[in-house]
A and B are shown apart, each in its own frame.
Chain A
Amino acid sequence: MLVLGPVNVLNDLLLRFFSQETINFFIWPLIQIGLVVTLVALWVAYATYLERKISAFIQARLGPMRVGPWGLLQPIADGLKLLVKEDFIPENADRWIFFFAPYIAVASAFIVFSVIPFGPDWAVIADVNIGLLLVLAVSSVGVLALILAGWSSNSKYALLGGLRSSAQMVSYEVAMGLALIGALMFARTLSLSGIIIAQGSDSIWYVLYQPAGFLLFLISGIAENNRAPFDLPEAESELVAGFHTEYSGMRWSLFFMAEYAAMVVVSAVAATVYLGGWYFPFVYRLELAGHHNLYVLVSLLVFLVKVSIILYIYFWLRWTLPRFRYDQLMDIGWKWLIPSALINIALSAIAIFLVQALNGWRGMRTIETLDRGLNLTASGKVIMIVIGFAGLFITAALLSRINWRSRDFNLKTQRRNIRLVNLPKGKPAVSASEV
């Protein structure tokens, strides 16, 4: 076993000093954590490179080309530059909060990687049975960092950016959590590995059962990460740079790292919950006897590819769409995303109820087992997928009916209406002679 070799040798070596239990619960997790932190940091650095490259390609430019071949060493050069730059703290800033806010941002983004299942077996640090809850809880702590950074900078731009980001993140978090519930109804577990295994044993990606949920999760994830077109907290044209206006050097780059790490987290959760995680597309029983570690590595690669595709969608959207107005942002959050997430939950509940009711009706079989998530037969899957995609249109139609008044939100019209109210009655606004 070529791939297995070093792992076993290392295990034997460690057995001389520690007991097997210590190795399993202490040494291996430490190695995993070290690997994940370094690799994710590197990945985040190269995400900035990819973003620059992709934005350049979309705009028919070349992007970074001078540092290394094809500018491949650019992130390292940038990192070095930021490390040696002056770490400036404004005179009237709240020093300690200003000092610690970036750490909160980075920590809340990186802690989440402890439960992300990069692959089966040893490729996940901790398979917690409340994994998804932990992801949502910890990543929402990131808002705190932005608020603290905005407040402690003692600058109007930073404060406004912090206010905006807190309002935005709080309102989109609701939609994000609600969007995931639909998928959880099928998986019947909060453990991220459990969700993947449930998809594997059902031989399907939940994006087919939950297309609306997937879209909602992606949109609210983009908004949650303050990415364009929802990058109101750092709108350059209005707020200079938003909450990190006053930051410089390494502290600024920590915010940058946190943003990209949070993007990777949201993409990873989307890939886990909706795109079948580390399962190879269409092949769910890939494992060969005796090649376990190779299987884990292949699964790891599949997972990374899926995450990269979602990251590409992030970049793609950023360089296609202009920024939303603030009221549009809140409109989308409260009037569209949250109600549609609720409708999605109701629809999936009805769908599951329907499938369960149809099971055994006139000899029809729709459910295989309920042991590892909801496992459906072919006919059950067809029903579920049809309801899922019909749900997209049902939701959109219902909401456009409900929101028909607020769809054409026109500030100019509103102002005119307000001006009309104050007009003295009985007199025309413009006298006839003037016309």
Chain B
Amino acid sequence: MVSDLAKKGAFYLFVAAIVFYAVFPFYYAIVTSFKTGTSIFQVDYLPTSFNLENYKSVFSSGGRPMTLDDVLHFNITGFPLNFINSIVVSTLVVALALLIAVTASYALSRVRFRGRGLLLMTILSVSMFPQIAVLAGLFELIRAFHLFNTTFALVFSYTIFTLPFTVWVLTTFMRDLPVEIEEAAIVDGASAWVIITRVFMPLLWPALVTTGLLAFIAAWNEFLFALTFTLDNAHRTVPVAISQLTGASDHEIPWGPIMAACVIVTLPLIVLVLIFQRKIIAGLTAGGVKG
């Protein structure tokens, strides 16, 4: 009986350790983001102050706090602009990938044709090969298309990892839809296009949300392409902007604003993840996506 209790205690201790380990760094970033001045250099394990100064400085546009007027007139610079860039890039690239992937996955999951296995393997290998291997070629292509230092350069280049992934996951989802539905539609004389848009789409919504979300997160977090294909702050996305937040010297790194920026860009993701927890896990295991 005692050993049973000890076992249970040890188990819960282990689980508590997991939760602590997973959550602590983010907790500490939040605690730090509310501290200003010299208090930031004092190590506190528990929250000590609640000061929004860092958040104000992150949300300032052109050296002064951003106003509603600025937003309405698109007079936005600095970090808020980076935030908007990230949203625009991620949304566009997800829309593009889903648009192309839905029809392709229908063909890959529902029609048996020669070379299907090979095509699937090619798609999988594209999603796995290193981004650096295409960096030079993409750089040339983006220059040739006059896309360098624009947000479209990122939409264009991000397709390389969002598209294969969406196709792969949607294909696994679609192959599990019952054949009978499709057969009934065919008997009624529906074309492949009608089957996709009228019969499959309503059933596919959950899958589309999941894949879209995962692709969105991947695009939101991307760094190498964003660093290489944009030059000035006006076109940067959030990850690059955060990496470039530095002070005048090494000793003046603005840790407070950096932590505030970190919290701001992470909060939406965490909320999304917690809401769509189950769907995300299903999508992750189906796609074997990278972390």
B is bound to A: no
